[in-house]
Structure 1
Amino acid sequence: MPIARPSPLLPLAVAACLLALAGSAQAQWIWRDRNGQITASDLPPPREVADKDIVQRPSNARRPLPPPAAASAASAPAAPRVDPVLEQRRRAAEQEQQAKLKAEQERVAQARAENCRRAKAQLAGLQSGQRIARLNEKGEREILDDKGRAEESRRAEGIIASDCE
């Protein structure tokens, strides 16, 4: 039995089939964007593109209509669901942080009030004219002279200015 030879038209038929299949996979929508650039895609153009800017459409195809307003609100993604336990822990952590901050502010306010009270008492003593002694670096008692009294008065007044409101 003789071996059958393939027809010389067989390669052409295969090429024609491949071209037909490739044609359906090619971009079918062509449009001009707002910058004037030509874009081709197998998907329809974005809704911002006007119909007059669509250069080519696939046969028997129209752009999908936008959904009605009620449907778009219903199809909008819902707010992410929050775990109530995690939300409660987050709130508790925030409240604890606020309580710590408030306690620190109260502590600082009390320290400033105490510094103010002491500085006012020191200044009153310095201005009274009575003799004031302090210990020097060697641990010896030393009576403040007029220069030392003026320096201590300036220091007390600075503390009063910063801590007494």
Structure 2
Amino acid sequence: MKTPAALPRLLLVLPLACLTVAAHAQWQWIDGTGRKVFSDTAPPPGTPEKNILSRPAATRAAPPAAPVAAQPAAAVPGSAPVSGVQGGAPKEAVDPKLEARKREAEAAEAAKKKAEEERMARQRAENCERARSAKATLDSGVRIATTSPSGERSIMDDAARATEQRRVADAIRTECGPAPRPAQ
């Protein structure tokens, strides 16, 4: 049985032991600018082996991994692939929560896109109706008064009416789409 005097010592030693384990799980390398980098992740690809100063103990024993393309698919022709590896690529674990969040995000994005398309369709329909109304007014031959930026009213002459008719026809073409063909 432990004595009461040993308990404070144990409480002091335990956190220090945890710190040393965490310190050994660190990578240490010299980056391209010559600075020493400490991290819990591996250095970026392309870091020369001579610049890696220390690595976690678990990775020291493992030989450097060869690229997947360089590994043979199977040692003997016709044999089954290595367990956990199918077609030369490791099988990834699927997180159901992550997949559910991904599906929800995709559904939300699709709903947002559909709502935007519906809004644009309503806007085009309104613009089409306005353009057709303006065309009917221009084609009717009634005199149309316009107001200048200075506030003066003037009656639209034939040249201005023709220009406005072309502009309205272009708006109808772009906003209303192709005209329906008569039934045969």
Category of TM-score, reference length = shorter chain: 0.5 to 0.7
Q: Residue 66 of structure 1 aligns with which residue? A: 76
Q: Residue 158 of structure 2 aligns with which residue? A: 146
Distance, in Å, in 2 between the alignment partners of 1:109 and 1:47 is: 55
Q: Residue 108 of structure 1 aligns with which residue? A: 120
Deviation at 1:66, TM superposition (A): 2.6
1:75 matched to 2:87? The reply is: no
Q: Secondary structure at the match of 1:99?
A: helix
**Aligned pairs for 1:117-128 within 5 A:** 117-128=129-140
- Contact 2:135 2:168 survives alignment (8 Å): yes
Deviation at 1:150, TM superposition (A): 0.6
User: What are structure 2's unaligned runs of at least 5 residues?
Assistant: 1-70, 178-184
Distance, in Å, in 2 between the alignment partners of 1:146 and 1:157 is: 16
1:91 matched to 2:103? The reply is: yes
Aligned length: 102
Identity of aligned residues (%): 45
Q: How does the TM-score come out when normalised to structure 2?
A: 0.50
Q: Residue 133 of structure 1 aligns with which residue? A: 145
Q: Which 4+ runs in 1 deviate beyond 3 A?
A: none
State the structure with bigger RCO (CA 8 A, min sep 6), 1 or 2: 1
Q: How does the TM-score come out when normalised to structure 1?
A: 0.55
Task: Label 1:119 to 1:75 Cα distance change in 2 as closer, same or farther (>3 A).
Answer: same
Q: Alpha-carbon deviations, 1:114-135, whole Å to 9, x = none?
A: 1111001101100101111121
Q: Secondary structure at the match of 2:93?
A: coil
Greater CA radius of gyration, 1 or 2? 1
User: What are structure 1's unaligned runs of at least 5 residues?
Assistant: 1-45, 49-64
Task: Label 1:82 to 1:146 Cα distance change in 2 as closer, same or farther (>3 A).
Answer: same
Deviation at 1:108, TM superposition (A): 1.1
Deviation at 1:67, TM superposition (A): 8.2
